Amino acid sequence: MKRVILLVFTIVSSVGYSQTSSGAKSTDLQLNSITTAMPFLSINPDSRSGGMGDAGTALSATPSSIYWNTAGITFSEKKSEIGVSYVPWLRQLTNDIHLSYVSGYYKMNERHAVTAGLRYFSLGSITYTDNNGSKLRDDKPSEFELVGGYAFKLTDNFSIGVNGKFAYSNLTGGMIVAGAQTKAGIAGAADLSMLYHKSGLNFGGKKGVYCLGVTINNVGNKISYSNTSSSDFLPMNLKIGNAYTTEIDAYNKFTVSLDLQKLLVPTPPVYDGGNLIAGKDNNVGVIAGILQSFSDAPGTVIRDASNKPILNSDGTAQVVKNSKLKEELSEINIATGVEYNYNEVLAVRGGFFYESPTKGARQFFNFGVGLKYNVIGFDISYLAALKRNNPLANTLRFSIRFDLGAKKESN
């Protein structure tokens, strides 16, 4: 049972891997990570963007575009692709958690495209025991997501996309945990996306393509894992991405990508003695939570020598000047990456991802390579964490994709 509690805590918190800052000063932002239900929905399964710092909102279409930006599929030069990915997860903690992913798309014509994907997240094997350590039963908790999408090109340069998804999360197998009867979490959600695509640009005497992508992901109902616990938000996320590809010559291309990403989930407020003293109540509905997420950071509470908050006359806490704005800005994650492509056969990638130390402290470099032979492509990426004991360290992503619309070259 201890392993159940550890894994549930780890998975629920894995949207932002929290690390407490040592020796924090009163003027520093306080540790205030945002956690959600079903964080597996935010795990990037794509080896290409996984090698570019998790910056994929504006990249050219791949089978994993349904995760990043469905709208971009209409600009694909290929008719159809199918991809399969495998990601061993949190290998610094255990060796039996993994994410499997299959997805693909089909362009009906130049303006319409459909896409679908299936995500399966396994938490490995768990043995349930009672308070005396006696074995109750073995279980294999898991989660999955089934998603379908449609993309429509409004103009020659602008496209929109929408996804509908069903997600199921069974972490405890209906066991009684801490005296509460648990249950599986079930959610219905949607993604909205757009992409602006401008080709024929000329920069430095070289032809180029610029893309601007915006997505809002996982907008859906709140879920609870028991009848007594409060409901939690899905990992609703706003992504704004830019990508520019320049053709160095007929064989060589170079792409640079930059994403800004923010959770559209309310920030936890600060309580003292059961009273809310800073921030806003985060027990709100989905739409209210999305709107509130842009202006509800509590900031840094000023405390006296005994570490008690200094209160105003209305019972709210005094906060460090400008710390609310600073905390709001700290909730924006930055992802950037580059890709060198030779003749659509070999690709070499690198990137960096930054998350504030007070919001999860995910900070890592990514590296990746891609190879393509005829209609089959292989991609692999590697995550190098900047801090020790980071459970994401050494994460590998493996992908294989099949170009179903490619024409076989004649001998």
For the entire predicted model, the pTM comes to 0.89
Q: Which CATH superfamily is domain 2-267+331-403 in?
A: monomeric porin ompg (2.40.160.40)
Supply φ then ψ for residue 284, to 5 degrees.
-130, 175
| pLDDT score for 406 | 52
Q: Are 127 and 3 in contact (CB under 8 A)?
A: yes
Residues in the chain: 411
- Cβ 171 vs Cβ 81: under 8 Å: no
How far the first Cα of the chain sits from its last, in Å, is: 61
Q: What are phi and psi of 247, to 5 degrees?
A: -90, 105
| CB-based contact 363:353 (threshold 8 Å) | yes
| pLDDT averages per 10-residue partition of the chain, 411 residues | 40 39 51 93 96 97 96 95 96 90 96 98 84 77 96 97 97 75 92 96 90 98 85 96 95 97 96 92 95 95 92 93 95 98 96 95 96 95 89 94 67 38
Distances (CA, A) of 333 to 119, 233, 238, 290: 24, 19, 10, 17
Q: In this structure, are residues 90 and 97 in contact, taking their beta carbons and an 8 Å threshold?
A: yes
Count CA atoms closer than 13 A to 168's CA, side-chain side: 9
Which pLDDT score is estimated for 128? 75
Tokens of residue 86, six digits: 């495998």
In angstroms, the CA 371 to CA 399 distance is 11
**CA–CA distance, 169 with 40 (Å, rounded to integer):** 9
Q: What tokens appear for 386 in the block?
A: 């900047």
